[in-house]
C-alpha cells in the first residue's frame, strides 16, 4: 500500500490549501515555534472544525511541543476530531526517568481531553543536537507504551535532511522493528519530491512534509496547493515504478 501524505499546517487557511492539494492527513503545528511547535489551541480547534464542516475523509494530527514544555504548565483540552498527537523528546536525554516524564505528560493531555489519545512517538534523528534519547530508545519506548506509531524527524531545521543523519541500513532496521510491533512509520525531515523514490523502498506508512508544501520551499512561508499536488504526483509515480 502506498504511503499517505501528511501536510503540516498552522491555521484553517493553510488547511484549506492542503485539502485542495490532496493531502491525506492534516497535521497542525506552528513552525515558528520549532520542529514540533504547538499551535494555539484556537488554531487547532479551527482546523478540526474545517474537517468536520467539510466532512472530508482526512485524519488530523497535532504537534504538542516538547515534553519539557509541560513540566510546569497545564495542558489544554484537545478538541474532538484529533486522530493523532505528537509530543517531542528534546531535552530528555540527561533524565534517567525520561520515559516516566514522557508518559506522565501524555497522561495529563488525556486527562484534560477526558479520552484516550493515539500517540505518535517522535524520534529525532539529529538526537544529539536535540539532547534527545537516540532513535533506537524511542522506538523501544514507543512499543512498550503502545503508541500508534513513530515519527522520524529533524529537530534542527538547518537544511540537513533524513539521510544526512540516518544511513539507509539504520533506517531499514528501525522501520522493520516498528512494523514488527504493528505500529505506523512516519518519516519527515526536509523531505523533497526527489527523495520520494528512495523513501518508497523503505515502505513508510506516512511521508510528512512542511517545507516542500510551502512557497519557495521555506517552512515558515504559506502552504501552496500546487506544491502539494507536485509532491503527490512524485509519490504516485514512485509507487508505480516500485
Q: Is residue 161's pLDDT more than 80?
A: no
Q: What pLDDT does residue 162 have?
A: 80
Tell me the mean pLDDT in the region 63-67.
Answer: 97
Q: Is 157 a catalytic residue?
A: no
Please, what are the domains in the chain?
A: 4-241 (3.20.20.380)
Q: Is residue 160's pLDDT more than 80?
A: no
What does the block give as the cell for 64?
504538542
Q: Residue 124 — pLDDT band, cuts 50, 70, 90?
A: very high
Rounded-to-integer distance, Cα 25 and Cα 184, Å: 13
Q: What pLDDT does residue 135 have?
A: 95
Q: 189 — phi, psi (to 5°)? A: 105, 75
CA distances from 23 to 68, 116, 154, 204, 240 (A): 31, 25, 21, 16, 19
Q: Is there a contact between 153 and 162 (Cβ–Cβ < 8 Å)? A: no
Rounded-to-integer distance, Cα 5 and Cα 8, Å: 10
Q: What pLDDT does residue 56 have?
A: 84
CA 152 to chain centroid, in Å, comes to 8
From the list 86, 157, 168, 232, the catalytic residue is: 86
Q: Residue 36 — pLDDT band, cuts 50, 70, 90?
A: very high
Q: Nearest CA to 82 among 56, 45, 107, 114?
A: 45
Q: Is 86 a catalytic residue?
A: yes
From the list 29, 157, 168, 232, the catalytic residue is: 29
CA angle 86, 92, 96 (to 5 degrees): 125
Beta pairing, strands 4-9 & 25-28 = parallel
Q: Please give the residue that has the higher pLDDT: either 91 or 157.
A: 91
Q: Is there a contact between 24 and 6 (Cβ–Cβ < 8 Å)? A: yes
Q: Is residue 53's pLDDT more than 90?
A: no
Amino acid at each position: 500500500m502506498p504511503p499517505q501524505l501528511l501536510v503540516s499546517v498552522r491555521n484553517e487557511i493553510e488547511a484549506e490549501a492542503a485539502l485542495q492539494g490532496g493531502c491525506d492527513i492534516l497535521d497542525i503545528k506552528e513552525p515558528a515555534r520549532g520542529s514540533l511547535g504547538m499551535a494555539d489551541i484556537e488554531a487547532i480547534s479551527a482546523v478540526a472544525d474545517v474537517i468536520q464542516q467539510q466532512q472530508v475523509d482526512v485524519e488530523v494530527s497535532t504537534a504538542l511541543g516538547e515534553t519539557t514544555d509541560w513540566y510546569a504548565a497545564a495542558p489544554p483540552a484537545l478538541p474532538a476530531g484529533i486522530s493523532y498527537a505528537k509530543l517531542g523528546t528534546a531535552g530528555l536525554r540527561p533524565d534517567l526517568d525520561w520515559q516516566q516524564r514522557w508518559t506522565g505528560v501524555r497522561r495529563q493531555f488525556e486527562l484534560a481531553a477526558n479520552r484516550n489519545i493515539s500517540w505518535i512517538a517522535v524520534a529525532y534523528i539529529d538526537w544529539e543536537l536535540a539532547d534527545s534519547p537516540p532513535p533506537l530508545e524511542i522506538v523501544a519506548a514507543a512499543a512498550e507504551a503502545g503508541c500508534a506509531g513513530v515519527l522520524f524527524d529533524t529537530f534542527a531545521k538547518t537544511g540537513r535532511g533524513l539521510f544526512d543523519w540516518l544511513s539507509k541500513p539504520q533506517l531499514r532496521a528501525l522501520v522493520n522493528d516498528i512494523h514488527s510491533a504493528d505500529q505506523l512509520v512516519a518519516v519527515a525531515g526536509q523531505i523533497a519530491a526527489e527523495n520520494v523514490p528512495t523513501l518508497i523502498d523503505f515502505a513508510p506508512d506516512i511521508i510528512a512534509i512542511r517545507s516542500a508544501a510551502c512557497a519557495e520551499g521555506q517552512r515558515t512561508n504559506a502552504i501552496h496547493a500546487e506544491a502539494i499536488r507536485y509532491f503527490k504526483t512524485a509519490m504516485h509515480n514512485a509507487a508505480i515504478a516500485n
